[in-house]
A and B are shown apart, each in its own frame.
Chain A
C-alpha cells in the first residue's frame, strides 16, 4: 500500500500489517545478512546517525514469532 504492506500468510491464515521499516528488514532476512549488517544497511539507506541494531533485532524477533521468517 502507499505507506506500508499487508502480508497474508496462507499457511497460518493470518494477516500481518507491516510498516516500511519492518518490510525493509523482512526483505533482507534471506540468509545472507546478519542483524548487524541489516542495521548498517538501514543506517546508510536512511541517513541515520547510528545503526538501529536493537530495532532490527526486535523486528526479527517478531518476524520469527509470526513465522514470517525461519532461523537457520
Chain B
C-alpha cells in the first residue's frame, strides 16, 4: 500500500489479512476477524483508508494540512486548495518537468517542518484528459468509483521516479483556485492572507489551537506566498515553474 522510502523508525507492526472464499472476502487484523464483504474493490479501498487512518492517529499532535507537496529546483512547495482545485493534476504535470512529487493530498506540520503523507495519489478520471501520458498506466492500476467519478491510484514509483517523504521546511506556498478552462495567473499575496487560505485546509484543529496557529504562522511566514488560478494545465505548469524558479 505505502511504498515511499521509509524515513522514520518503526514503532508498531500490524498484520492485515484478506482471505478469499467462494462467497467473498474475510478481512482480519492481527488474526482478529473484522468484517466480511463480497466487493473486492470496496474492500481494497477500505484497507487503504483504514491503514492511512491508523498511521495518522498517533500523529494527532501534528497539524494536518490538506495540501500537495513537491520540490522543484531544490525548492519545496505546497499546493493548498479545495478538492477540485487541481492540486494532483498540477503536481503530476510538474513531474514531467523535473519536479519531485511527495504527496498529493496531505502534509503534517510540526514546528517549522512539513512531512508529506505517503498516501498513494488519487487521480480523477476527468484529469486524464489533461494528463494523456498517464491514461494507459492509470487504467492498469487499482481504481475506485464513487457516485461522481472514478479515481486511479498511482504513485511516483509507478512512473519510475523516487518517492521521498522526508521532513523539510517549505520554501513556497501556493493557494489554488480553480479556473480550469481559462488563462492561469499567479500573484504574490500577503502572508497574513495566505494564513486564511491555509487555515481553511486544516483538518484537525486541536484543543491547543494557539500552538497549532503559531506553527502554521511560522511555516507561512518563512515561505514565499502566491495565489495561483489554475487555468489550462500546460500554461499553468509553465507559469508555476517560472514563478518558483524566480522566487
Does B associate with A?
A: yes
Docked pose: A8 CA to B221 CA in angstroms: 16
User: Which of the candidate stretches B6-14, B113-121, B189-197 sits at the interface with the other chain?
Assistant: B189-197
Distance between B196 CB and nearest chain A CB, rounded to angstroms: 5
Distance between A3 CB and nearest chain B CB, rounded to angstroms: 4
B217 within 8 A of A: yes
Docked pose: A7 CA to B201 CA in angstroms: 18
User: Which of the candidate stretches A10-18, A48-56, A60-68 sits at the interface with the other chain?
Assistant: A10-18
Q: Are A10 and B210 in contact (CB under 8 A)?
A: yes
Knowing A6-B195, A15-B199, the reply to whether A1 touches B213 (Cβ < 8 A) is no
Knowing A1-B217, A6-B217, the reply to whether A13 touches B209 (Cβ < 8 A) is yes
Q: Which of A1-50 contact B (CB under 8 A)?
A: 1-6, 8, 10, 13, 15, 17-19
Interface residues on B, range: 10 to 19
Q: Total A-B residue pairs with C-beta atoms closer than 8 Å?
A: 36
B109 within 8 A of A: no
Q: Interface residues of B: mostly helix, strand, loop or mixed?
A: helix
Knowing A6-B217, A8-B210, A10-B210, the reply to whether A17 touches B191 (Cβ < 8 A) is no
Distance between B195 CB and nearest chain A CB, rounded to angstroms: 5
CB-CB under 8 A from B210, the residues of chain A are 8, 10
Q: Are B221 and A17 in contact (CB under 8 A)?
A: no
Distance between B190 CB and nearest chain A CB, rounded to angstroms: 4
The contact sample of 18 A-B pairs, CB cut-off 8 A, is: A1-B192, A1-B217, A1-B220, A2-B191, A3-B190, A3-B192, A4-B190, A4-B192, A4-B193, A5-B192, A6-B192, A6-B217, A8-B209, A8-B210, A15-B199, A17-B193, A17-B195, A18-B192
Which B residues lie at the A interface, using CB under 8 A?
A: 190-193, 195-196, 199, 209-210, 213, 217, 220-221
